[in-house]
C-alpha cells in the first residue's frame, strides 16, 4: 500500500513540475514577445526620424536656421522657407482644438449625465460615425458646401461686426474668400470632435457611481458634480483624448488641402488663404523635380515630426505635474 501511495505522490510531483515548467516557458515567451514589440516601436520611430533627417539634410545645410524663419517658397529660384506652413499648421490646429474640446466635453457630459437613456446609444453612434467619414469627403463638402456658405453669410457678418474694433478688425479683415485659415480650422474641429467626444464619454463612464451619487446626495447640481467629481477623476483620459484630436489636426492633409487656399504667405486675417505642412507636402511632392526641392519638402515632414513630438512631451509633462499635485 505504501508503494502505491509513493508512486501516486511521485506522479503528482512530476505533473506539478511539468506544469510549472510549462507556465515558466509561457511566461518567458510572453515577456520576450512584449519586450520585442516595445523595442520594435522604438526602432521604427528611430528609423523614421533618421530617414527624415537624412532626406532633409541638403535643405537644412543650405538654408540653415533661416529655413524656419523665411516665408518665401519659390521652386523656380529654389528659395524655400517653412515659416508659412508652420504658421498655418499651428494656427489651424490650435483653433480647431479650442473649438472642439469644449463642445466634445459638453456632448460627453450630456450623453452620460443628462441625455434620456433611449437616446444615448443613437446619439453616441452618430458621433462615432463622424470619425469614420474619410477626410477627402470632409474636404469636398467643405469646398463645395461649407466654404460658399461662409463666404455669403458668416464671413461678411463677422467682418461687419468687428470692423471698428482695434485688433479684431485685422484678425477678421479682408474679402470673404470662403476658403482660408478659419474655414480649415472649422473643418478640422468637426473632424477631431468625434475622437474627443468618444474618448471623453468612455472615461466619464468609468467614474464610480458611488462618487456621483454621494455628490448628488449632499445637494450638488449636475454642473458641480461634473466640475468637482467627474472631470478631476478622469483628467488623464480627457487629456489623452485631446492629444489624440490634436495629433489628428496636426497631421490632417486632404481636408485641409481642399479649403485652406494653399498660399505660402502669412496674414493676420483668419479669412486669408494659407497653407499647412501636410497640405504643402501633398500638393507639391509629386511635382518636386529637383533634389533641393524634394529635400525641402522632406524637411517640412521632419519639422512636423518634431512639432508633434514636442507637443506630446509637453502633454506628458503636464499630466505628470497634475498627478504629483493630486498625490500631494
Map grid coordinates 503528482 to a residue: 12
Of the candidates 285, 231, 222, 226, which has an alpha carbon nearest to the alpha carbon of residue 253?
A: 285
The mean pLDDT value of the chain amounts to: 87
Cβ contacts of 185 within 8 Å, gap of 6 or more: 91, 92, 95, 96, 99, 270
The upper half-sphere exposure of residue 89, i.e. CA atoms within 13 Å in the direction of its Cβ, equals 27
- Taking every pair of Cα atoms in the chain, the longest distance, rounded to a whole number of angstroms, is 106
The residues of the chain scoring below 50 in pLDDT are 1
pLDDT reported for residue 11: 65
Percent of the chain having pLDDT more than 70?
A: 94
pTM of this structure: 0.85
Of the candidates 289, 242, 264, 201, which has an alpha carbon nearest to the alpha carbon of residue 96?
A: 242
The span from the CA of 12 to the CA of 6, in Å, is 10
Phi/psi at 261 (5° precision): 100, -20
pLDDT reported for residue 12: 66
pLDDT reported for residue 212: 87
Q: What is the DSSP string of 25-62?
A: HHHHHHHHHHHHHHHHHHHHHHHHHHHHHHHHHHHHHH
pLDDT reported for residue 9: 66
pLDDT reported for residue 8: 55
Of the candidates 225, 288, 239, which has an alpha carbon nearest to the alpha carbon of residue 101?
A: 239
The span from the CA of 92 to the CA of 105, in Å, is 20
Q: Is 280 helix (H, G, I), strand (E, B) or coil?
A: helix
Amino acid at each position: 500500500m505504501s508503494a502505491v501511495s509513493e508512486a501516486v505522490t511521485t506522479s503528482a510531483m512530476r505533473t506539478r513540475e511539468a506544469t510549472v515548467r510549462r507556465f515558466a516557458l509561457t511566461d518567458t515567451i510572453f515577456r520576450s514577445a512584449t519586450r520585442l514589440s516595445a523595442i520594435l516601436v522604438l526602432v521604427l520611430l528611430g528609423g523614421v526620424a533618421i530617414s527624415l533627417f537624412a532626406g532633409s539634410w541638403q535643405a537644412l545645410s543650405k538654408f540653415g536656421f533661416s529655413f524656419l524663419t523665411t516665408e518665401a517658397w519659390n521652386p523656380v529660384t529654389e528659395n524655400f522657407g517653412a515659416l508659412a506652413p508652420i504658421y498655418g499648421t499651428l494656427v489651424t490646429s490650435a483653433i480647431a482644438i479650442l473649438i472642439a474640446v469644449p463642445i466634445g466635453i459638453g456632448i460627453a457630459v450630456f450623453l452620460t449625465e443628462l441625455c434620456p437613456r433611449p437616446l444615448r446609444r443613437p446619439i453616441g453612434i452618430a458621433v462615432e460615425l463622424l470619425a469614420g467619414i474619410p477626410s477627402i469627403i470632409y474636404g469636398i463638402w467643405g469646398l463645395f458646401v461649407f466654404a460658399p456658405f461662409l463666404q455669403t453669410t458668416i464671413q461678411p457678418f463677422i467682418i461687419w461686426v468687428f470692423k471698428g474694433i482695434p485688433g479684431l478688425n485685422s484678425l477678421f479683415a479682408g474679402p470673404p474668400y470662403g476658403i482660408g485659415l478659419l474655414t480649415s480650422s472649422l473643418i478640422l474641429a468637426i473632424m477631431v470632435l468625434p475622437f474627443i467626444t468618444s474618448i471623453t464619454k468612455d472615461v466619464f463612464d468609468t467614474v464610480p457611481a458611488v462618487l456621483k451619487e454621494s455628490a448628488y446626495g449632499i445637494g450638488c447640481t449636475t454642473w458641480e458634480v461634473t466640475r468637482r467629481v467627474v472631470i478631476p477623476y478622469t483628467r488623464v483620459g480627457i487629456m489623452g483624448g485631446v492629444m489624440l484630436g490634436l495629433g489628428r489636426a496636426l497631421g490632417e492633409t486632404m481636408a485641409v488641402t481642399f479649403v485652406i487656399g494653399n498660399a505660402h504667405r502669412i496674414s493676420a486675417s483668419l479669412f486669408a488663404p494659407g497653407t499647412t505642412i501636410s497640405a504643402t507636402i501633398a500638393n507639391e511632392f509629386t511635382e518636386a523635380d529637383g533634389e533641393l526641392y524634394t529635400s525641402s519638402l522632406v524637411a517640412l515632414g521632419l519639422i512636423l515630426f518634431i512639432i508633434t513630438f514636442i507637443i506630446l512631451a509637453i502633454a506628458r509633462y503636464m499630466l505628470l505635474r497634475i498627478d504629483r499635485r493630486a498625490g500631494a
